[in-house]
């Protein structure tokens, strides 16, 4: 039966997992909650390749059929190298810059500094030099969401302080899967702007890979979450189960 591995430094990838579940992608999911190295956004490219390689090895041991790197930073900095190291389909998450440029002139790119500076993102933006891009400092947001997922007031205040100076924004590109948990707060600041997230793109690509490889899809869902560092606290476990709308098996300190 189809096994799908997922990698993120924390809960951000759950927004991708939710999209897959809502998109009807049944599978046995193995989610590496790599809190040992959270946040990825502050790591160097070499560190990220090493982290990605270690986590890929763990997922290969689970005999997964597909791996989804549910993190924009890890995708932008390491996915090309990892694809050359492993003979398994690897799906990444890229900021949906192109669709944003097709509809908007003034665009906020919300991403970690590592993602913004990556060659792939710079290449995409240089293809649309007639558009205006703005890059707020979001280096603290992923960690803020990880620690205050149930206190949206703290997240809103951070966003208001860091985004309110940008005027006439028409499009907002979500360039970190953690930020999907803050879309409601972002829309309060820019109620008329269109928010672009790449979750739907990952679902579409995953379905394509499944059909292309004729993987056998089960008629059930199972989600197993493996933290690599400290135990995920009980409140967050309940939150994530409620967010997905199903039970999750949690395992701690994966070596």
Distance of CA 145 to the CA centre of its chain: 13
Q: Is 71 a catalytic residue?
A: yes
Structure tokens at 40: 């990825």
What pLDDT is recorded for position 213?
A: 97
Catalytic one among 11, 25, 104, 176?
176
Q: Enter the pTM of the model.
A: 0.94
How far from 160 is each of 77, 141, 155, 164, 179, CA to CA, in Å?
29, 12, 9, 5, 14
Pairing of strands 28-33, 90-91: unpaired
Cα dihedral sign, 66-145-21-58: positive
DSSP E strands, 90-135: 90-91, 106-110, 132-134
What does the alpha-carbon distance between residue 33 and residue 230 come to, in Å, rounded to a whole number? 10
Sheet holding 194-196, edge to edge: 132-134, 106-110, 171-174, 194-196
Report H helices in 214-254: 234-244
Q: Is 104 a catalytic residue?
A: no
Tokens 């189809």 found at: 2
What does the alpha-carbon distance between residue 12 and residue 179 come to, in Å, rounded to a whole number? 7
What pLDDT is recorded for position 124?
A: 75
Structure tokens at 174: 């979500």
Do 76 and 114 meet the contact criterion of CB atoms below 8 Å apart?
A: yes
The answer to whether the peptide bond before residue 211 is cis (omega within 30 degrees of 0) is: no
What pLDDT is recorded for position 146?
A: 94
Supply the DSSP string of 43-71, one letter for each residue: S-HHHHHHHHHHHHHHHHHTT-SEEEE--
- CA-atom Rg of the chain in angstroms: 17
Among residues 28, 24, 3, which one has the least CA distance to residue 249?
Answer: 28
pLDDT tens for the chain, 255 residues long, are 999 999 999 999 999 999 999 999 999 999 999 999 988 888 899 999 999 999 999 999 999 999 999 999 999 999 999 999 999 999 999 999 999 999 999 999 999 888 888 887 788 777 766 889 999 999 899 999 999 998 999 999 999 999 989 999 999 999 999 999 999 999 999 999 999 998 999 999 999 999 999 999 999 999 999 999 989 999 999 999 999 999 999 998 776
What does the alpha-carbon distance between residue 107 and residue 100 come to, in Å, rounded to a whole number? 7
Tokens 């096994």 found at: 3
Catalytic one among 71, 97, 141, 163?
71
């Amino acid at each position: 039966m189809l096994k799908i591995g997922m990698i993120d430094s924390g809960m951000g990838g759950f927004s991708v997992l939710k999209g897959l579940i809502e998109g009807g992608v049944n599978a046995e999911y193995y989610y590496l909650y790599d809190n040992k190295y959270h946040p990825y956004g502050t790591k160097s490219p070499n560190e990220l390749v090493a982290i990605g390689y270690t986590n890929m090895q763990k997922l290969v041991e689970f005999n997964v059929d597909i791996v989804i790197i549910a993190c924009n930073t890890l995708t932008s900095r390491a996915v090309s190298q990892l694809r050359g190291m492993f003979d398994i389909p690897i799906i990444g998450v890229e900021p949906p810059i192109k669709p944003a440029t097709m509809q908007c002139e003034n665009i906020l790119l919300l991403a970690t500094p590592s993602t913004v500076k990556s060659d792939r993102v710079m290449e995409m933006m240089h293809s649309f030099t007639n558009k205006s891009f703005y890059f707020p400092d979001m280096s603290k947001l992923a960690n803020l969401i990880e620690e205050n997922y149930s206190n949206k007031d703290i997240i809103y205040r951070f966003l208001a302080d860091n985004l309110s100076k940008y005027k006439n924004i028409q499009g907002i590109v979500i360039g970190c899967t953690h930020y999907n948990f803050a879309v409601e707060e972002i829309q309060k600041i820019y109620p008329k702007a269109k928010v672009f997230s790449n979750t739907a793109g990952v679902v579409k690509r995953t379905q394509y890979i499944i059909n292309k490889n004729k993987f056998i899809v089960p008629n059930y869902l199972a989600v197993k979450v493996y933290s690599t560092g400290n135990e995920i606290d009980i409140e967050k476990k309940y939150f994530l189960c409620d967010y997905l709308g199903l039970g999750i098996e949690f395992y701690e300190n994966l070596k």
